[in-house]
Amino acid sequence: MFYDKVSAGYILRIRVTPNASKCSTGDIFTDSNNQDFLKINLTAVPEKGKANQELIKFLSKLLHISKSNFTLISGETDRYKKIALNIPPSAENDNLLETLEHPK
Q: Please say if the pLDDT value at position 104 is more than 80.
A: no
What is the pTM (predicted TM-score) of this model? 0.93
Q: What is the pLDDT of residues 13-47, one digit of tens each?
A: 999 999 999 999 999 999 999 999 999 999 999 89
Q: CA–CA separation, 56 vs 77, rounded Å?
A: 15
Which pLDDT belongs to residue 103?
62
According to DSSP, residue 33 is labeled: T
Average pLDDT, the chain: 94
pLDDT at position 101, please? 84
User: CATH for 3-90?
Assistant: 3.30.1200.10
